[in-house]
A = this chain, B = another copy of it.
Amino acid sequence: MEPIYEKTKQKEDRLLRISRMLFDYKNNILPPWQPLQRDPRTCCHHHLHEKIELLYFIEGTVIFRIDGVPYTCNPGDFLIVNPFEPHSGVTSPECDIVRYYAFNLDCNLLKKLPVTRLSELFDPLLSGSAAYPHTLPATDPTGKIIRAELEAILATVQTRNAELYQIASVCRIFAALGDPIVAPSGGGTRSADFVRRCILYIQSNDPRAVSLEAISRSFSYNKAYFTTLFRKHFGVPFTDFLNRYKIENAHALIRGGNRNLSEVAQRSGFNYYAYFFRKFKEVSGMTPGEYVTYCDRLEKK
């Protein structure tokens, strides 16, 4: 069974993933990774991941929260989300159209570039002992470089050698950013460490093998204690979090073109299709079949 999971993982094995986020509320065009939310103004629900995310805002206003701190983002602004920082976003109710790009950078792949100092740069970031500032003033010279490189990536995205231009820009962004600064209290503490360890456990195991029992055991905690601790740090019960994580994997598989829904269910970590179906509807607001139609319709546009 293992190889199936590995295969899905490999597909995402890219240094940089660019997502174009368009919210056209007038014509009801929302991104395919944005299934109907309870609140239509939510453009990115509360979540966290190992990748570094750069957000670059083109049109409209978005209010992003990183680690609880709100940032009002207007065209031309960018935001840096460090690994494992919980973040969420809502579009401003005054805006009919909101457009921004999310650049997700895989630090573990970045570390493999043939550059001597990269582990020195990214290890503190991954362990949470250091972080980049979330934003830089409009006049900051580093901010100008970052903006220019993000524009360069977008300008070359359709060219034959797009990936080479992307690596070039990513390297220049990190060269300009320099060393991350030592995180203030909160980073690298036991609390942040718990969050990190949970995410890494979930990401590095076959989703079908991840359970409350297994993860509690891996922490040497009893189930009740782990449950309380998890809810305290993540704001949601462990099972809810895990199901959302698995359903998001299913979304990615469907968006990637897989139309065999029972295979999607299995690959994303569900042993029973009926349970997958129920959870899919709960998380996405639509059934797997409706999501397929939704994606197909968007693709034709």
A122-164 near B? 1/0 per residue, CB < 8 Å: 0000000000000000000000000000000000100111011
A195 at the interface (CB under 8 A from B): no
Given contacts A160-B178, A178-B161, contact A114 B172 (CB under 8 A): no
CB distance from A148 to the nearest CB of B (A): 12
**Is A236's CB within 8 Å of the partner chain B?**
no
Contact with B along A156-194 (1 / 0, CB 8 A): 100111011101110110110010000000000000000
Q: Which of B14, B113, B161, B171 contacts A174 (CB 8 A)?
A: B161
Task: Assess the A167–B178 pair: CB atoms within 8 A.
Answer: no
Interface size class of A (residues with CB under 8 A): 20 to 34
Interface string of A70-107 (1 = CB under 8 A from B): 00000000000000000000000000000000000000
Taking a contact as CB atoms under 8 Å apart, the answer to whether A175 and B171 are in contact is no
Given contacts A168-B167, A168-B168, A169-B168, contact A114 B175 (CB under 8 A): no
Whether A117 contacts B163 by the Cβ 8 Å rule is: yes
A94 to nearest B CB, angstroms?
A: 39
Task: Return the chain B residue nearest A164 by Cβ.
Answer: B175
Instruction: Tell me the nearest residue of chain B to A13, going by C-beta.
Output: B114
Copies of chain A in the complex: 2
A63 within 8 A of B: no
Nearest B residue to A112 via CB reads B114
Contacts of A13 in B (CB 8 A): 114
Are A171 and B165 within 8 A (Cβ)? yes
CB contacts (< 8 Å) of A229 on chain B: these are none
Question: What's the nearest-Cβ distance from chain B to residue A295, in Å?
Answer: 24
Instruction: Tell me, yes or no, whether A116 is within 8 Å of chain B by CB.
Output: yes
Known contacts A112-B114, A114-B112; is A164 also within 8 Å of B171 by CB?
A: yes
State whether the Cβ of A109 lies closer than 8 Å to any Cβ in chain B: yes
Q: How far is the CB of A179 from chain B (nearest CB, A)?
A: 8
Q: Is A163's CB under 8 angstroms from B112's CB?
A: no
CB of A224 within 8 Å of the partner chain:
no
Q: Is A15 an interface residue (CB 8 A)?
A: yes
| B161–A113 touching, CB < 8 Å | no
Q: Which residues of B contact A175 (CB under 8 A)?
A: 156, 159, 161, 164-165, 168
Nearest chain B CB to A52's CB is how many angstroms away? 15
Contact between A14 and B114, CB atoms less than 8 A apart: yes
| Min distance, Cβ A114 to any Cβ of chain B, angstroms | 5
Smallest CB-CB separation from A179: which chain B residue?
B160
Task: Tell whether A115 is near chain B: CB-to-CB under 8 Å.
Answer: yes
Query: Closest residue of chain B to A174, judged by CB?
Result: B164
**Pairs A–B under 8 Å by Cβ, sample size 10:** A112-B112, A112-B114, A113-B167, A116-B163, A159-B175, A160-B178, A165-B172, A165-B175, A168-B168, A168-B172
